[in-house]
Amino acid sequence: MLPWGWENILCVCKIPRMLTMDPQAQASHALELFHAGSFEQARALSITLLEDARLAAGVAAEMEHLLGACLHQLARGEEALPHLRRAIGLEPANAGYLNTLGVVLRKLKRTDQAIRCYERVIALQPDFSDVYYNCGNALSEQKRTEEAVGRFRRCLELNPRHHSAHHNLANALRDLKELEAALHHYELSDQCEHHNPDMHCNWGLAWQLQERWDKAIDSFELAINQKADHAASHINLGGALAVQERFDEACAALRRGVELDDSCNDAKFNLGLTLLTIGQYEEGWKFYDTRLSLPDKVKPPIASPIWDGNLDIDAPLLVWAEQGYGDNIQFARYLPILMELGLQVTLSTRKPLMELFRQCLKPQCPAIIDHNPSELQGFKHHVPLLTLPRIFRTSIQTVPMMPGYLQAPPILAPSLKFDRQPFAINIGLVWASGVDNKDMYADKSMPLELLLPLFDIWRQERLVVLHSLQVGADAAQLEPWRGQRGVVDWSPKLDTFLDTASVLSQLDLVISVDTAVAHVAGGLDKPTWLLLQHNADFRWLRGRADTPWYPNMSLIRQKKLGDWSSVVEQVQDRLQQLLG
């Protein structure tokens, strides 16, 4: 396939017909060879012609240009540049030559220079539609998306049926979250050129952003019908099918995507998540480790290879924390197992967790240090905490249940103790996830005003005392109930997870959304009702009201995403059974 504008370039720059000497005929033949895809033959003939002293200056310029074009097509871009510059030296106002130079520079990742070439072309020939398209692509690469949109639009003013310009304008508008406009231009691109799997794949991504999953799936499947080995469409199809909980189909699509593009760690990671979600743990953990190769996921603090599970090592093993607080708490259960195997273990973790593990992790706790990558370089052996399930070959049946792998803090600070009311049940509440997880915060969090009124009668009858363990900005939702009978706000006193564990250890029941507090409660083996969004992450599996990770935890799920009312109804039924 010729790159953008080549057809235009080599048609605009025809050899003058007024010449009748043999070099003219040979130059025309060289051009025909290029158009036929015979780039090596066209290159050789161009070189021969340029050695002919009879060659007219105009023909010489075109042969330098053609030679540069051939070298570019043969992936010899650096060699192409001097020939293109000689062509421009002979004809400085030739817009086609400058456009070609821009194409080659962009291919060589010299995008700033490419854009300057395109801008010169625009000044010389303002009605050259392809140069606006080329310039838009270069601007898009530099994330100058709004400028790119302007260039694509100008291209389409000059050539309304430029299907690639419609396609890439749609991509840019999608990146700007102007989704309706993006969908419109994908449709126009389709009208101009239906057989375009790349476009249909990108169209599907736009439908995904609108959460119109059926449309997205249709687009990805159409792309695959047009090109059976279109890896990106298989991968994106797998992701969309997983959202619709068609997990077997999702795994099949993702596997095919990985077969076609083994370098796509995103696809492997998503396959791992999908396998874990359906309980295929042993294979899922292997693919889940590809998170370590994704720049936006987990960055190992040490460059040396990750520990492979070999117990015969001659130095301490560093287990380093990753991801969120809840992940650290859930998988800390593996640390005592490592120590029981005779390994000398050091855990690096975040400060709010350090005292929780030091005082509560049982039956034994490793040395614990702050997770500061610059201070970890002396360790010879290291492993990320969430890789331990793979090393231990954890399956659904072999999850280290370890009820109460966290013990109650041995000493409770006086400020964290409370007196129990006779006959009252003490219930802890958390209704919002941590804001650090921006992608999931809105899905995981629920309004307190839906939940707290369930307890009004029982509070007034002194049968329930509610303990708010919510911290952060969402703690302010408690304001209408603060100071009322049976409502205790602990947020001002909870500075670390040890503080939270101190309060949790005194409670009878914890009701929480999916956040770190729920993991502390589970680790303490407290009865816990976990309120889950419909798209709960892999650790909670699907279709289960229990979890292999915490034996005293019950899962209460949304019936559809955002439907907290169905969760509240289930909580109300359970409270009625508990309290009468």
Q: In this predicted model, what pLDDT tens digit does every residue of 524-539 receive, in sequence order?
A: 999 999 999 999 999 9
Count the neighbouring beta carbons within 10 Å of the beta carbon of residue 231: 20
pLDDT band at 24 (very low <50, low <70, confident <90, very high): confident
Hey, what CATH topology would domain 414-579 get? Rossmann fold (3.40.50)
The pLDDT assigned to 411 comes to: 95
In this predicted model, what pLDDT tens digit does every residue of 96-124 receive, in sequence order? 999 999 999 999 999 999 999 999 999 99
Q: What are the tokens at 573? A: 């039924």
Report the CATH number of the 1-125 domain. 1.25.40.10
Alpha helices, DSSP H, located in 74-162: 77-90, 95-107, 111-124, 129-141, 145-158
Judged on CB neighbours under 10 Å (0-12, 13-18, 19+), 92 is: exposed
Q: CATH 1.25.40.10: does it fit domain 195-297?
A: yes
Q: For the segment 280-319, what is each residue's pLDDT rounded down to a tens digit?
A: 999 999 999 999 999 888 889 999 999 999 999 989 999 9
DSSP state of 559: S
List pLDDT tens digits, range 459-473: 999 999 999 999 999
Q: Which residues pair with 381 in a beta bridge?
A: 317
Q: Predicted confidence band at 145 (pLDDT cuts at 50, 70, 90)?
A: very high
Query: Could you tell me the pTM of the whole model?
Result: 0.85
Question: What proportion of the chain, given as a percentage, has pLDDT over 70?
Answer: 96
Q: How confident is the model at residue 195 (pLDDT cuts 50, 70, 90)?
A: very high
pLDDT for the residue 125: 96
Report the share of the chain in percent with pLDDT over 90.
Answer: 90
- Assess whether pLDDT exceeds 50 at residue 362: yes
Beta carbons within 8 Å of 328's beta carbon, 6+ residues apart: 321, 322, 349, 350, 353, 385
Cα–Cα distance, 568 to 389 (Å, whole number): 34
Could you give the CA distance from residue 284 to residue 395 in angstroms, rounded to a whole number? 10
Q: How far is CA 463 from CA 421, 486, 568, 572, 580, in A?
A: 9, 9, 19, 15, 10
pLDDT score for 438 = 74
The whole-number pLDDT of residue 379 equals 94
The residue among 52 and 38 whose pLDDT is bigger is 38
